[in-house]
């Protein structure tokens, strides 16, 4: 039974895509079977995981607004292999820019349409250990359906007040959806995803978030690093750019803090980190 984790916050540019891709990749090199769903119409995650791979745009209206009767449709029409072992992907599509209207219209006929994504994913749930969802920014029907599908939700935040507003909105939305549907997504917490931890004011801001949100605030911050932009230019997850730089170490620490990796998989991860070249990726251009 896969654990479904969504990277969701209304604000754009907070690190949802970087966090979703890198955490999915860390889980896959640890030996977990991971399905990545790219619901961000900017296609960044898809480009990073499936560079040069051929795929057809999936019918997202069907995925979000109808109930599938069998899982074959996922493998026939939605799920592709990525450039990485153990990591499959439902790639993004430009249709994701307008799907919010389709879901909105379908909801007028049946409010249970909100649960279609969740019910459809249950069909492939035993084929994966984790399903990771990257989302579009915004407070939209697309994100509401994603929240309903999730077991856990993580919010990367920026070191500013706009993120504070974004998280507050998200918590209200989650509670509202919980009251309307029989769902129980767990808000796993928020973390700073692109920060200069040495900057004056950061310590104060962190303390403020800790005080305001207590255990909803994750005390692991992802440090700002030039390797992150290198990774977007090369279209490679961070572990393939440099296994030891600060942002990679922070993502590894975050995954451990969240207890996403058990002891057995931790050994596989250690082996991957110790290897000179990344053995379990088809991408041979990996650096150490
Ligand atoms: N730790 C980091 N260090 C440097 N740049 C980062 C870091 N995390 C994210 N970024 C950059 O910030 C921008 C926004 O990140 P992204 O993951 O695309 O946000 P979102 O998906 O929330 O819109 C991207 O250009 C990304 O490369
Ligand atoms: Mg994004």
pTM across the whole model: 0.95
pLDDT at 263: 97
pLDDT at 198: 87
Encode pLDDT of 35-45 as tens digits.
Answer: 999 999 999 99
Structure token digits, residue 118 = 């969740």
pLDDT at 277: 59
Q: φ, ψ for residue 188 (rounded to 5)?
A: -80, -20
Around ion ligand 2, residues with a beta carbon closer than 5 Å are 16-17, 40
CA distance 15 to 171: 18
Residue 252 Cα to ligand 1 middle (Å): 17
80-81 β-sheet, strand order: 80-81, 87-90, 34-39, 130-135, 3-7, 152-157, 186-192
The structural architecture, per CATH, of the domain 3-274 is 3-Layer(aba) Sandwich (3.40)
Q: Whose CA is nearest to atom 20 of ligand 1?
A: 13
Mean pLDDT by 10 residues, the chain (288 residues): 96 95 98 98 94 94 97 97 97 95 96 97 98 94 97 93 83 96 96 91 90 93 93 92 91 98 97 73 42
Residue 229 Cα to ligand 2 middle (Å): 14
Return the closest-CA partner of residue 50 out of 20, 89, 94: 89
Question: What is the CB neighbour count within 10 angstroms for residue 129?
Answer: 20
Assess whether the C-beta atom of 197 lies below 6 angstroms from ligand 1: no
pLDDT at 279: 40
Encode pLDDT of 197-253 as tens digits.
Answer: 888 888 888 999 999 899 999 999 999 999 899 999 999 999 998 888 899 999 999
Sorted by where each begins, the domain ranges of the chain are 3-274
Residue 44 Cα to ligand 2 middle (Å): 7
């Amino acid at each position: 039974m896969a654990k479904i984790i969504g990277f969701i916050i209304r604000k754009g540019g907070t690190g949802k895509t970087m966090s979703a891709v890198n955490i999915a990749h860390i889980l896959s090199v640890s030996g977990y079977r991971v399905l990545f769903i790219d619901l961000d119409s900017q296609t960044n995650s898809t480009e990073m995981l499936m560079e040069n791979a051929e795929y057809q745009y999936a019918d997202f209206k069907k995925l979000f607004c109808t109930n599938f009767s069998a899982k074959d449709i996922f493998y026939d029409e939605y799920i592709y292999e990525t450039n990485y072992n153990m990591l499959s992907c439902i790639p993004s599509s430009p249709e994701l820019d307008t799907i919010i209207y389709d879901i909105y219209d379908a909801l007028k006929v049946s409010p249970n349409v909100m649960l279609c994504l969740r019910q459809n994913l249950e069909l492939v749930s035993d084929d994966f250990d984790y399903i990771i969802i990257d989302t579009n920014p915004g407070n939209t029907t697309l994100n509401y359906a994603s929240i309903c599908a999730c077991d856990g939700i993580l919010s990367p935040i920026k070191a500013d007040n706009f993120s504070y507003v974004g998280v507050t909105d998200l918590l209200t939305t989650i509670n509202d959806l919980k009251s309307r549907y029989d769902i129980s997504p767990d808000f796993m917490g928020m973390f700073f995803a692109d920060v200069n931890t040495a900057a004056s004011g950061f310590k104060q801001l962190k303390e403020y978030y800790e005080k305001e949100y207590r255990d909803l605030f994750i005390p692991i911050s992802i440090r700002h690093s030039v390797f992150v932009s290198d990774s977007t230019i090369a279209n490679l997850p961070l572990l393939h750019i440099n296994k030891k730089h600060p942002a990679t170490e922070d993502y590894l620490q975050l995954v451990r803090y969240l207890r996403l990796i058990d002891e057995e998989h931790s050994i596989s991860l250690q082996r991957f980190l110790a290897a000179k070249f990344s053995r379990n990726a088809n991408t041979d251009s990996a650096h150490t």
